Homo-oligomer: A and B are copies of this chain.
Amino acid sequence: MNNSEFQTRLAARWRDANSMLCVGIDPEVNRIPVHLRSLNDAFFQFGKAIVDATAAHVCAFKPQAAHFAAEGCEDQLAQLIAYIRVNHPKIVVILDAKRGDVGSTAKFYAREAFERYQADAVTVNPYLGYDSLEPYFDYSDKGIVVLCRTSNPGSDWLQKSELAKSPLYLEVAKQIAEWDQGGQCMLVTGATYPEELAQVRALVGDMPLLVPGVGAQGGSIEEVVAAGLDSRGCGLAISSSRGIIYAGEGEDFAERAGAQAALVKQEINQAMGKG
């Protein structure tokens, strides 16, 4: 399997930053520091400060589209991604939008993610099948992060449905690996289910995995690392959002976020025996 530019950049960043930490950027009006709330571009200013303070410790940033959409400030999302691209060009940006639609519409979501926002990758939902993913594959340098085994409690119902030979999320993993001829894909596999993460890893070779659910959702970094490393001893983007970006509430919020990111990075490296 070839690697896409996305995967090549992600792998380079794992090495250069010595980090598999991905910081999720999920701004909320009532949780960002009080002194920022009255600004016209409060979400951008918040995100920018978090980005600068945590950049040294991360392989990826993952801005969450819903948080910007709820407040009608997609322009600040675009501005934030542009800021990362200019000021931290080696860090990959995964737009967390979880899009999923029939091919003729997916084309527009792919354009949103890759042309409007210039993200390096976007999260997508597999429920509609191959033609719903095809428009993303057409951007051969970009990454496609497919939901496989999500971290939330309700995910069992459908994702663990028993198919003829195996649960559904493993069918998703297997099929995505087959479709991924250009090394563009990642799979979302929640930290809250480490045994299932290990099963996914066993199926997909060195395909990178995006792992949310450590921190607030209760997943264990040690278990994730034990279950998920690839043959090169990397292969994960372990994502934490609220635990890092809201580590502080005051004027020193960015500093606190940076310190917390450094801590989580260290915890990941310790779990890898890099102590």
B-contacting residues of A (Cβ < 8 Å)? 26, 64, 66-67, 69-72, 74-75, 78, 98-103, 105-106, 108-109, 111-112, 115-116, 125-133, 147, 150-159, 161-164, 168, 171-172, 175, 212
Contacts and interface: CB of A to CB of B under 8 A. Distances in A.
26 contacts: A26-B105, A64-B108, A66-B105, A69-B74, A69-B109, A69-B116, A70-B108, A72-B74, A72-B75, A98-B101, A98-B125, A100-B125, A127-B150, A127-B155, A127-B159, A128-B147, A128-B155, A129-B154, A129-B155, A131-B152, A131-B154, A132-B152, A157-B175, A161-B163, A162-B163, A168-B168
Specify the main secondary structure of chain A where it touches its partner.
Answer: helix
A77 to B, nearest CB: 10
A132 to B, nearest CB: 6
Contact of A69 (B71, B72, B112): B112
A111 B127 CA distance: 23
Most chain B beta-carbon neighbours within 10 Å: one of A64, A100, A116 = A100
Contact of A130 (B116, B154, B175): B154
Contacts of A168: 158, 161, 168
Most chain B beta-carbon neighbours within 10 Å: one of A126, A130, A152 = A152
Contact of A162 (B67, B101, B164): B164
Contacts of A100: 98, 100, 125, 127, 147
Given A157-B130, A162-B163, A164-B162, A102 B152 contact: yes
A112 to B, nearest CB: 4
Contacts of A154: 103, 128-133
A44 to B, nearest CB: 15
A72 B163 contact: no
